[in-house]
Structure 1
Amino acid sequence: MQARRVIQVVGCHAEGEIGDVIVGGILPPPGDSVFAMMQAFAREQDGLRRFLLCEPRGSVARHINLIVPAKRPDCAAGAIIMEPTEYPPMSGSNTICIATVLLETGMVAMVEPETRFRLDMPGGPVDVVARCQNGKCRSVILRNVACQALLLDQKLRLGDGREIVIDIAYGGMIYALVDATRLGLRLEAGEARALAELGEAVRVAARAQFPDVAHPENPAIRGVSIVQLNAPFAGPGTVARNTCIVAPGRSDRSPTGTGLSARLAVLHARGEMTLGDSLVHESLIGSRFRGVIEEEAQLGGRPAIIPSIEGRGWITGFHHYVLDPSDPYPEGYVLSDTWGVGDGGRTMLSQE
């Protein structure tokens, strides 16, 4: 066998959502911050994201993360998150996978019963508390970046002419949030295709009708990139069904950590949740994340929150991906039966 490239990957999932972790074979991109490193990788090495995420090596249901050196002295490591069509500044499920892999492979020393460390993520530093027992990372609590409701109760016209109401919030990614039950959906696994099609329609419409929505302190993070379809809020301490639709149109298998963070920010802005309150989000496959409003903060001079998200990750395997010089698909391919009618796997950068 000839190989032009060999990349080592640790397979992992967090509550059902694949978030594999690259541990070798790719050098870190340049940049004086992890956000700048993410931008450099997207500009100069996006073919590697396609190589690993597109078929025949990957799939639309996979994310992959590149471990990079931290740029902050108080952080153990940094990471660049790669999703099917974008590089998000933060992701709860991917961060849980990253923490699990770092600990269970010994890249970060495991201390029982708790290991505490900080990760340098593109969206900002994230504190991790890992509950560990007998060499296993049993669960991960991450203290997310500052999250904020950006716009509430906005009218959105879909491509089919329907008018719906959405909230827009930053939870580490910019979300459009929709009460799916108002549209006659029950948020059940059997509705996954209908939910995915609705969510992608909302994302496309929201990006067109709210082009100026952006992170209050980092204008390079702009535009709605993901959609949360949720059930009504029943009060603090309860469990609520939700699914977050990842471009180009499929349900996140996990309850989505940044989505739960965005929901907490919206509920806090409405006065329905306050400091110390919790909410559990449940995914279409029944997996759960628990979110807590840990701190009230400011972001761009407006009220925000610092939430924590707790979930579990599991290593699924150890892989070596190779590029044979004669392989006709060095950057993979996508087909609309699984990748929908999106942009064919090309990167949707938030800063574009």
Structure 2
Amino acid sequence: MLEQPKCWTQALQLVEVHCQGEIGKVIVAGAPKIPGRTMAEKMNHINQVDDRLRRFVTLEPRASVNMSVNLLVPPTRADADAGFIVLQADRAHAMSGSNCICVVTALLETGRIAMTEPETVVKLDTPAGLVTATARCQDGRCLSVSLDNVAAFVEVLDQPLSTPEWGEIRLDIAFGGVYYAIVDVQQVGLRIEPSHARELAVAGIKIKRLLQQQVSVQHPEIEGLDEIAYVMFRHFESDGVIQTCTTLQPGRVDRSPCGTGSSANLAVLFSRGEVRVGDQRTSRSIIGGEFTAQVLAQTSVGGRPAILPRITGQAWIYGMELMRFDDDDPMSKGFALSDTWGPQVDLLRN
């Protein structure tokens, strides 16, 4: 690990990881303790009480909007090996498939959890619940990580949404670790391809704002999971592959195929009778990366039908980082400019 200069009072140690092109750095040491009896309470503390660490590691001048940072914390439940919270430019989030794969890869390949070949099981405590990861390992590397995700369920199918640009569109709202609004991309006249990334990001943020005015959600069992976090565009290809494009604040697209979004979409397909227990589908990102999403079993959440999804993908460690953590830094709160945030810059809380 990198050596901390003597003049630094505190430093964060990060492992630099990406999953199918989506950056998900992992803070492995140096972070302050986060209050809370559960991971959900810790997430809510970051979002509602003290967001200094999140701002420090996700905003300029130390970061950019097209990335996440995962905070490793001791688990709050006895059946977990580690806990983590996803930190993004807008807020802390309960769960992310690509980030979970990054965390497992960082834990195993740096030796923080012992790797056993050919498979290592890692149980992760998240604000959305327990996630069991099975890493396929060889020669000290994680060749793939399969996530037995939290239960995914449909909130509503074919929800109408009035929009000034596209008239009334229909979308599916489902939970896959966070809440998603899933939109068939042809309704907004775009395609899921790199040349349309900017337009998709803008459309997704516009739809998210309209949803905030017209639709409300609340997880039946977990406090604080009460917003539609992301809008995910979807397209069914002729070979059965599902193109996905999740849009994130302040206005960008996910580089990965999106694990929680693929879980939510799998719940939608199951609810419509288009997949059954044991079936799997391939999710393909805007840049061609792929996850597989499989229905493991049926279950229920708060009395509503749900499925247990498994998401499989791969991440790569590309570096290590030592970040000086100092409240005397005049930019310790970070900043945002409209050249990267666009009109969403007004939403950043000072």
Could you say which TM-score interval applies, normalised by the shorter chain?
A: over 0.9
Aligned residue type for 2:342: G
Determine whether 1:336 maps to 2:338: yes
Greater shift, 82-91 or 159-168, is seen at 159-168
CA drift at 1:217: 1.9
Instruction: Name the SS for the 2:321 alignment partner.
Output: strand
Cα 1:102–1:309 change in 2 (3 A) is: same
Determine whether 1:170 maps to 2:172: no
What is the match of residue 205 of structure 1? 210
Cα 1:346–1:3 change in 2 (3 A) is: farther
Determine whether 1:37 maps to 2:42: yes
8 Å CA contact 1:54–1:345 kept in 2: the answer is no
Instruction: Name the SS for the 2:92 alignment partner.
Output: coil
Greater shift, 325-334 or 174-183, is seen at 325-334
In 2, Cα distance between equivalents of 1:86 and 1:326: 23
Task: Give the 4+ runs in structure 1 shifted more than 4 A.
Answer: 323-326
Q: TM-score, normalised by structure 1?
A: 0.93
What is the match of residue 350 of structure 1? none
What is the match of residue 284 of structure 1? 286
Determine whether 1:230 maps to 2:230: no
Aligned residue type for 2:280: S
Instruction: Name the SS for the 1:221 alignment partner.
Output: coil
8 Å CA contact 1:210–1:223 kept in 2: the answer is no
Alignment gaps of 5+ in structure 1: 348-352
Instruction: Name the SS for the 1:10 alignment partner.
Output: strand
Instruction: Name the SS for the 1:131 alignment partner.
Output: strand
Quote the RMSD (CA, aligned, Å). 1.7
What is the match of residue 91 of structure 1? 96
Greater shift, 45-54 or 144-153, is seen at 45-54
Greater shift, 108-117 or 336-345, is seen at 336-345
Q: Percent identity?
A: 43
CA drift at 1:228: 0.5
Determine whether 1:153 maps to 2:158: yes
What is the match of residue 254 of structure 2? 252
Match of 1:54 among 36, 55, 59: 59
8 Å CA contact 2:101–2:145 kept in 1: the answer is yes
8 Å CA contact 1:334–1:345 kept in 2: the answer is no
CA drift at 1:184: 2.2
What is the match of residue 78 of structure 1? 83
In 2, Cα distance between equivalents of 1:290 and 1:345: 35
Determine whether 1:65 maps to 2:70: yes
Cα 1:345–1:284 change in 2 (3 A) is: same
Cα 1:326–1:86 change in 2 (3 A) is: closer
Aligned residue type for 1:100: T
Alignment gaps of 5+ in structure 2: none
CA drift at 1:323: 4.4
In 2, Cα distance between equivalents of 1:25 and 1:45: 17
What is the match of residue 32 of structure 2? 27
CA drift at 1:343: 4.8
Deviations 1:207-234 (A, max 9, x none): 11003x1212224211211000010375
In 1, Cα distance between equivalents of 2:186 and 2:343: 25
Deviations 1:78-119 (A, max 9, x none): 111111112211110110000000001111100000001211
In 2, Cα distance between equivalents of 1:147 and 1:161: 29
Match of 1:218 among 219, 222, 235: 222
8 Å CA contact 2:277–2:296 kept in 1: the answer is yes
Match of 1:308 among 304, 307, 310: 310
8 Å CA contact 1:84–1:345 kept in 2: the answer is no
In 2, Cα distance between equivalents of 1:280 and 1:321: 37
Aligned residue type for 2:162: R
8 Å CA contact 2:98–2:258 kept in 1: the answer is yes
Deviations 1:48-77 (A, max 9, x none): 111111111100011001111111111101
Deviations 1:135-187 (A, max 9, x none): 00111000000010101111112244722111100011111110002332221
Instruction: Name the SS for the 2:228 alignment partner.
Output: coil
8 Å CA contact 2:40–2:224 kept in 1: the answer is no
8 Å CA contact 2:95–2:177 kept in 1: the answer is yes
In 2, Cα distance between equivalents of 1:31 and 1:169: 27
What is the match of residue 273 of structure 1? 275
CA drift at 1:44: 4.1
What is the match of residue 125 of structure 2? 120
Aligned residue type for 2:136: R
Greater shift, 155-164 or 70-79, is seen at 155-164
Q: TM-score, normalised by structure 2?
A: 0.94
In 2, Cα distance between equivalents of 1:262 and 1:343: 28
8 Å CA contact 2:54–2:91 kept in 1: the answer is no
Instruction: Name the SS for the 1:342 alignment partner.
Output: helix
Deviations 1:276-332 (A, max 9, x none): 111111111110110000111111111100100000011111111114666431111
